[in-house]
Structure 1
Amino acid sequence: MNNYKNFEVTDWVDDPGFRKWVYKGEQDSFWISILENTPSQAENIEQAKDILLMVRGEFDNIPEQELALRKSKLLDYISQEGQVRSWWRGRWFQVAAVLLLTLGFGGYYRKQFFPVPYNAVLSRSGSTAIIEIINNTEQVKLVTLPDGSSVILKKDARISYPDKFYADKREVVMLGEAFFEVQKNPDKPFYIYSGEMLTKVTGTSFSIKANATDKQVQLVVKTGVVEISRNKAGEETKTNHLTLNPNQLVTLNRESNEFKTQNVNEPVLINLPIESQYFTFKKSSLKDVFSTLELVYGVHINFDKIVTVKCNITARLGDEPILEKLEMICEVLNARFEMKNNTVSIYSDGCEK
């Protein structure tokens, strides 16, 4: 029988029976007796339980192998910075655990994401809550940020951001493949931390490919101007700073830490319809317009097809986020809209004959 009186936090986390109790409630009376008979271990047990619950996250059926990997990475990182106990008393323990759940486990990302970029989002925003979205579906997933910017996530992509942005900047952390349409605001730059690459824009559209297992991070510009630099200590660097224009692709080699730029015929990087869609409509029916928006943004739009049968749109929409596009369309139609859970409802009295 184990000598639980001498257990450290890592010993509790490694104990198979303890893990089964935390996850499945097995041998409940036994572990309750252990708690009662070893009161000096109460703090270590509580820390170990929270570690196990954090690495498991919101999923119920994570394989034991992946649980072991998450646990190992978390404890390894904590041990690099100090004792578990000292970390537990600070906020960084929770940040590290969340990062492991949301930002992947590759060697590159452990080095680059810990701890500064996520800390930047947490501390600079003044926010009390961090929102984390992961696309676990086969379809694209639309995310609308607090400033109205649109992000389209491909499968397995994820983004983390505060529920409110800081007064003079907007910061997000992302991993995977995503397309951004950033709300224009020159006075409040928008920063994307994607591994070793730091992207700064004030309002534009572009695609990012930053998969944890890839040897490179890539970005291609669809509209506007994008500034790129290496992500070092969560700040903009003066060296290796690039400015990209539409139809320019940049590749950051993670091993050499070097940038390579090239011109492309089309700004297509992650094979999403929105990358090649420029939203040009000429006497287009409302049905066709909304079908286009549904396709590229992955939303569902409800509207009265009979009432709006005579409505048509002639317009060239740009790189505005979807909310702004809907506002422009509804202004022309003298209509209004509501959006909830990626479902848009249009309310219109129809158009004049």
Structure 2
Amino acid sequence: MEDNKPNDQQIRDLLRRYVAGEASDAERRAVDAWYRLFVDQAPAPQAEEAEGPRATGAATATPPARPGVFRRYRWWAVAASLLVAVWWGGTLLLRSGHEPQGNDSATVRLFSSAEHRKRIELPDGTVVMLNVHSQLEVPEDFNAGHRHVALTGEAFFDVARMPESPFSVRSGLLTTRVLGTSFNVEGYAEDKTVKVAVVSGLVEVSKATAGKPDSLLSGGIARNQTLTFRKDDGSVAIRTEDSRLISAWQTGELDINRLTLPELGHKLARHFNRTLVIDPRLTDDTRYTIHFANENLREIMDVLAEMTHANFEEKGGKLLIQPN
């Protein structure tokens, strides 16, 4: 009924809590439901011709629109679009609470949901594919002489070449800087590492140090090279790996490369949108490497159980890993 509609301030407060990570489970479900319905109305991304490394940036299919359901929640789309949401290239942007100060720029935050990856095209022509549970922060003046973004989670970047304007991605303590190339950055908050994998071109990686200029970790990692930074001790490892496998999550594949049991558990849980519950006794430092193309969760759990000698179970939306 009309009297039950929330007012503008209530909607503002709810979305502010959601962006800050302070919303309750019920509130997050409500916003996620609205978000999915709003995204359902966006046109599907244009199919791109597969050409070299750029083919890995293919978009995932967008679910069909559900007009009947959308009408029931129309007040969400109208109110939110008037208050804190804007459309940029078919992608929903939520303004952060950050306001500009001096030369500082306001930012917008782009989210992927727990279930869907998201393709984003930035104003300079750079294409970003966000993996699930990820967020990209973009300054509102992004195209004004500098190209800097911040990532939480995982994303594949196909960067438009602009020699006069380097493109940089901040993920935790690491900054990845390029002129025009394609690369993958994986840096979820719960992971112990941040990993950069190069598909084409050269990538420079540096680390933030409190009160000092960033320290250079590598002046140029190239195609099929990865840089892995450990958050606990600051160690860095540069290896040769097949970067096509690392970024194959864009087409639903799952790559496990030199991960411990807890690390692969986190990755598997994210991939299938499950909550990880792992027995704390499983602290073996053994590292596992395997790639799954299109296997379902049950098939993957069976293989990993054989490989790790642990018990994998899916129950009530949870991924349970326990000793045998």
Give the TM-score normalised by the residue count of structure 1: 0.43
Structure with greater helix share of residues? 1
Structure with greater strand share of residues? 2
Structure of higher CA gyration radius: 1
